[in-house]
Amino acid sequence: LSPRGYDPIAALHGGEPVGRKIMNVLGNSPHDLGSRSGLTNLALKTEFAKLYGSESVKEATAGSASDEEDTIGNRAGLINREKLLAWCMSTGLSRNSRLNAVLSPCIVDESSRQEDGTIQIKPNTRTRFFTDDTQHGLCIVLGLAELLGFDLERDMPQALYVVRRLQKWMKKEFVLPQEKVTAGSKIVSDAKDVSETSAPQAFGVKSVQELKRFLQLDVFSETHELNAEGVLKNSGLMARL
């Protein structure tokens, strides 16, 4: 969804070069999907309105075709050759012999033991299978989408569904459950356990401008602007002025 020029971040499809090449050739690059879905334009309009006011947006877009509600966001037909790509992924995952060695972390549910000795198992939600990909993966994406002004229910239903289902198993609330969502509520910001994620909202970031300032923080607490000003003040050029 990033504008051109941010390719090192925005053009990644999980880092697999062949799959990324195929997605791009078929017109499913992040740039293509962002433009085709209307989400890139929506994010730019939202940020412009926050900076300069909604009236400025109306003036800037006067005479242009307005986006219809049902043409923005995730919808059927958005991904080119979706059925073919889904078949390729399903076939590849189901027949990948390397995945046979990957064991799913589970724990025994003693409370389910039957008289005949059968017992149930359930996923171990304290493993990195859950903690890495949920709090520090999908929650980041959902948090960024919320900052950009997207409707998570409309634009990211699959990601939101996965997090809601997993957090129920984990007995957490990284995003608001559907029954708690009301008019004006923020699905990520208002969640009880958002502080346990790596979403921008966990660090107090609630807008794109705040995110920009947050990303400029130096891990070594260095203030480059002040350092540059100090060097300039002590330079020979300033001494002659």
23-40 pLDDT, tens per residue? 889 998 888 888 888 888
First to last CA, the chain: 47
**Reported confidence tier of residue 9, pLDDT bands at 50, 70, 90:** very low
Confidence grade of residue 221 (pLDDT, cut at 50, 70, 90):
low
pTM of the full predicted structure?
0.73
pLDDT (tens digit, 9 = 90+) per residue, 50-84? 888 877 666 666 655 554 555 677 677 888 999 99
Mean pLDDT taken over the chain: 82
47 burial (CB, 10 Å; 0-12 / 13-18 / 19+) is middle
- The pLDDT value given to residue 236: 65
Which stretches does DSSP call E strand in the chain? 106-109, 120-123
Question: What is the average per-residue pLDDT within 1-30?
Answer: 65
Share of the chain above pLDDT 70, in %: 79
Cα separation, 185 vs 192, whole angstroms: 13
Residue 65 confidence (pLDDT): 54
d(CA 124, CA 92): 26
Q: Lowest mean pLDDT: which of 16-20, 143-147, 210-214?
A: 16-20
For the chain, what percent of residues have pLDDT higher than 90? 30
Separation between Cα atoms, residue 190 and residue 194, nearest integer Å: 8
DSSP string of 64-122, one letter each residue: SPPPPGGGSSS-TT-STTHHHHHHHHHHHHHT-GGGGG-PPPEEEEGGG--TTS--EEE
Question: CA-CA distances (angstroms) from residue 85 to 28, 31, 95, 122?
Answer: 11, 18, 15, 31
What token pair was written down for 32?
A: 């293509």
The predicted model gives 170-174 an average pLDDT of 95
Q: Exposed, middle or buried: residue 176 (CB in 10 Å: 0-12, 13-18, 19+)?
A: buried
Helix (H, G, I), strand (E, B) or coil at 42: helix
